[in-house]
Amino acid sequence: METKKTKMKWWNKTLIIIGSFFGGLFSLILVVLLSLNIVKFSIYSDYYSIREIVCTNHGLNDNYVSQGTAITNDGNYAITSGYMKDKTASRIYITNISNNTSHYVSFLKADGKAAKYHFGGVAVSNDTIFLASNDSIFTVSLTEAMNNDELTLNLLFEVNNSASFVFVDDTYIYVGEFYDGKQYVTENSVTYNNKTYNAIVEQYTLGSYTTPYAVYGIRDKVQGFAVSDKGDMLLSTSFGLTSSNFYYYKNTSVINTGETYLSAPLYVLENEDFKLSGPAMSEDLDFLNGKFYTNFESACNKYIFGKFFFNSDKIVALDFSGLIN
């Protein structure tokens, strides 16, 4: 007959075995995580050598999926745009870089309904915030965004592409699109030197939105585009769990095809001067004071892995000056 003491010994042994199993599993996971976090510095050595953490990318622990990146002209605030996984009104987050505090602004459409757009890009110039989505550019006032938690969007103009990202400097606004040939396709296609470009960036003079000033044929899977103060261009490409790539084109490498598209001069970004690989899911780009800025959606709760593996829950600056000859 099994005694109570015998039953207790059996149960204690079972608990020890179960505890040992999960303890070992936890230790294995911890070792893997630590190893990956060490190896990443070798895999993406150039990226980490020029990366500077700017501030926390806020909102990633909510249902917010960050996409766009912008830095205010004075360099004091970082702005991200995105969409909500739970299908509520889309947001931007405005972060004070000096003290790392932030607040978000939700958006309404002109009819008063929640604006549930995929804001893949955001840019800022003086007191205007530009948001890209749904073949269109929308605007709100920076001042109003700093002092409100809900605003109505203003439609600025419609473009001839899907408006996946946007970049603004003192003179021009650039709006481009994402193409992967499968889930995301476009209506644009330009060919030069026997190579087809299935996505474009349209460049407009600020305040003049009828006809593009120029059009650029770009590679597939572009998430962000920015222009330096020297006229050099950077593309951020990513999709899924593969590495992000940053393609740097000196202004002298941007090819004038001598042709037109959408009644504007057509250029193509064919051969980059430098390619930099980095962690997965890089997004929209901005440029200020010699540095390019971006964020990664991999750290949001929709994907999570970026929180643990690559410290991707930050807005970062990339200074290419030491890598470009």
Per-residue pLDDT 10s for the chain (325 aa) are: 555 555 555 555 555 555 555 555 544 444 444 445 555 556 899 999 999 999 999 999 899 999 999 999 999 999 999 999 999 999 999 999 999 999 999 999 999 999 999 999 999 999 999 999 999 999 999 999 999 999 999 999 999 999 999 999 999 999 999 999 898 999 999 999 999 999 999 999 999 999 999 999 999 999 999 999 999 999 999 998 889 999 999 999 999 999 999 999 999 999 999 999 999 989 999 999 999 999 999 888 887 776 666 778 999 999 999 888 7
What pTM does this model have? Answer: 0.88
**How many other CB atoms are found less than 10 A from the CB of residue 53?**
11
Cβ pair 261, 215 in contact under 8 A? yes
* Torsion 60-65-69-72 (CA) sign: negative
Fold entry, domain 45-322: Neuraminidase (2.120.10)
Cβ pair 124, 144 in contact under 8 A? no
pLDDT at 28: 45
pLDDT at 312: 86
**How many other CB atoms are found less than 10 A from the CB of residue 84?**
17
What's the half-sphere exposure (Cβ side, CA atoms, 13 Å) at 287?
Answer: 24
pLDDT at 159: 98
Residues in contact with 277: Cβ distance below 8 Å, sequence separation at least 6, in sequence order? 43, 44, 46, 47, 243, 244, 245, 246
Question: Where is 9: in which H helix or E strand?
Answer: helix 4-43
Cβ pair 115, 82 in contact under 8 A? no
pLDDT at 33: 45
DSSP structure string for 214-254: EEEEE-SSEEEEEE-TTS-EEEEE--TTSPEEEEEE-GGGS
The SS3 assignment for 192 reads strand
Q: Which residues pair with residue 187 across a beta bridge?
A: none
Exposure letters 114-137 (e unless 16+ CB within 10 A, then b): ebebbbbbbbbbeebbbbbbbebb
